[in-house]
Amino acid sequence: MLSHRPARIAIVVFSCIALGIALYIMAVVKSDQPLPGCGEDECNVVLTSRWEHWAFLSVAHLGVGGYLSMISAAILAGVIRIPVIRTALWALMIVESLTGIGFIAWLLFLQWIIIKQFCVFCLSSHFFGALAYAVILLRAPAWHGFYHARRRLTGTAAALLVFLIAVHIFVVPEMMAVQAADSMEAVGSAEADTLSTGMLQFGKKEASRMVQLLDGNLTFDLHKVPVSGPHDAEHVLVELSDYCCSSCRSLHRRLKQFQEDYDVEMVIVHLPAPMDVECNPHIKRTPRGFDKACKYARLAMAVNHVDPAQFPAFHHYLMVDRFPPKIEEAQARAEALIGKEALATAQEHEDVKAWIQNGLNLKRYLKATTLPKLITKTRVISYSGGSKGAFKKTMQEALGLDELKKK
């Protein structure tokens, strides 16, 4: 029976391990640092995705609350001698176990099918939580002794699980972070000089006819980088992204909608920072779903090199849908725009390599653990999702505008 001491100890031990891992994940994510052992980007693809949030809480908060309640109930069930209260405590743990197993299955489905990347720390927390749930369901007297109680408990757990998943799907969290440029911990001058290659120069430089962002720490010639929008636009932004990144694609659509809705003159510099070991030496292995990121980046930069006027439409084509087009289709589209031979030659050109290296260097300079980043004169915006109204407010503040006029 569950009242036996070994079963209660097992529940508490497994729950404490799962709780400790969940608390560690929360602490590391809050510090905006990568989880050790996960590579530069891999766990962070999961932990910064739109699905890491349940309504206005992180999924880790749900886990922490659940594990604390299970630990408390297991301890109290061994202390309290009143049968009715003990039965109620075990009934609570049974409902939580059934719901927890179902929600863990949902989270695994999201990581496998939607996010296309697994977080080993999340999986570890799920594993020990599932062990605690299994002990409860295998040993609980209210589960094995009363058939009608089992039906009621299962129905309650199913209703709670449906509620949790429905909120997870339909309540979209605000997931934008804005960092002031003057609050950044800049790298040393020697490292900045090392990172300064091609068209991007890090650290304060002598201005010529150059654009300066990040309070003067990022300098480039607007006519020598891939852009969409007029070169004489009042506001210049840099979009640092990956063509295989779902949050990057979401930001692209949000920016397009913003430009269609509001009368703001903007030109956006598009720099790829592929999370693919084929061209990114800063990651240990390519996350799932990013194995063609370098190929997409080379295609886009090659189109820009041959015919910059064609680049904005091609960039939009690569980014507009939920997933990128098949690489064969993207290559065929690029060949139709600039010619097969021109495309093949351009992909090996130094400018194409430099633009990709610029993006990777900029990511390193910002110490960015995730993409996308949107950079203005004084702000670095991290985007993973959120409402249209919140994005409008963020953009208004980042561009330093008193008001936004509708078109």
| The pLDDT of residue 173 is above 50 | yes
| The pLDDT of residue 146 is above 70 | no
More confident site: 90 or 205? 90
Length of the chain: 407
pLDDT of res. 120: 86
Distances (CA, A) of 218 to 127, 237, 266, 365, 393: 45, 11, 18, 10, 24
**Mean pLDDT value of segment 196-203:** 70
The two tokens of residue 307 are 């015919």
Instruction: Using the structure block, give the residue that is written with the tokens 């999924």.
Output: 59
pLDDT tier for residue 376 given thresholds of 50, 70 and 90: very high
Helix (H, G, I), strand (E, B) or coil at 269: strand
Could you read off the pLDDT of 283-301 as tens digits, one per residue? 888 888 899 999 999 999 9
Could you read off the pLDDT of 231-255 as tens digits, one per residue? 999 999 999 999 999 889 999 999 9
Please give the backbone phi and psi of residue 347, each rounded to the nearest 5 degrees, phi first.
Answer: -65, -20
Name the percent of the chain lying above pLDDT 70: 88
Please give the backbone phi and psi of residue 382, each rounded to the nearest 5 degrees, phi first.
Answer: -100, 130
Q: At what angle do helices 83-109 and 147-170 cross, to 10 degrees?
A: 40
Name the percent of the chain lying above pLDDT 90: 57
Measured distance CA(264)–CA(93) in Å, rounded: 55
Q: At what angle do helices 59-79 and 5-30 cross, to 10 degrees?
A: 160
CB-based contacts of 375: which residues, under 8 Å, 6+ apart?
213, 214, 218, 237, 238, 239, 240, 362, 366, 381
Could you read off the pLDDT of 2-14 as tens digits, one per residue? 446 888 899 999 9
pLDDT of res. 358: 95
Q: Is 264 within 8 Å of 321 (Cβ atoms)? A: no
| The pLDDT of residue 1 is above 50 | no
Going along the chain from its start, the domains and CATH numbers come out as 5-170 (1.20.1440.130), 175-399 (3.40.30.10)
Q: Is 56 within 8 Å of 173 (Cβ atoms)? A: yes
pTM to 2 decimals?
0.70
pLDDT tier for residue 127 given thresholds of 50, 70 and 90: very high
Return the DSSP state at 225. S
CB-based contacts of 280: which residues, under 8 Å, 6+ apart?
273, 274, 294, 360
What is the identity of the amino acid at 162? V
How many whole angstroms from its chain centre is CA 157?
A: 30
| The pLDDT of residue 62 is above 60 | yes
| The pLDDT of residue 199 is above 90 | no
**Mean pLDDT value of segment 108-115:** 89
